[in-house]
Amino acid sequence: MDKLTRYREIIRQLIFEYAGHKPANGKIETEAVIDSERDHYEVVHVGWDGVRRVHGSVVHIDIINNKVWIQYDGTSEPVATALLEAGIPREDIVLGFHPAELRQYTDFAIS
């Protein structure tokens, strides 16, 4: 299995795992959104918490130039840690939610 195929499978499994965690409050559904063709992967919350509408990304991962970009991580169990534990090396993980000029200070890829 080539690197990208392996990364896609790891991310897919991770997305389904995070999508399995339903919020404790409100009537909120958790959706796994997977676009394998364009390498976009998301977990989205949709529903209502009382009178407040809930709709938003909880996890957003893209594969760009053979690297795994974490675009958003709104979890209590960090996505980067889960990716590392699944076998994706630090040099192939970009913390896209940090500004480009600050990424050099992380232990992860810059871009």
Predicted confidence (pLDDT) per residue in 70-106, tens digit: 999 999 889 999 999 999 999 999 999 998 898 888 8
- What is the DSSP pairing of strand 27-35 with strand 67-73? unpaired
Taking the alpha carbons of 43, 98, 53, 82 in that order, is the dihedral positive or negative?
A: positive
Lookup: tokens for 34: 């997977």
66 pLDDT more than 90: yes
- The whole-number pLDDT of residue 104 equals 87
- The whole-number pLDDT of residue 90 equals 96
Within 8 A by CB and 6+ apart from 10, the residues are: 83, 86, 87, 88
Q: How far is CA 66 from CA 3, 28, 35, in A?
A: 8, 34, 16
Residue 111: which pLDDT band, with cuts at 50, 70 and 90?
confident
Give dist(CA 106, CA 111) in Å, integer. 12
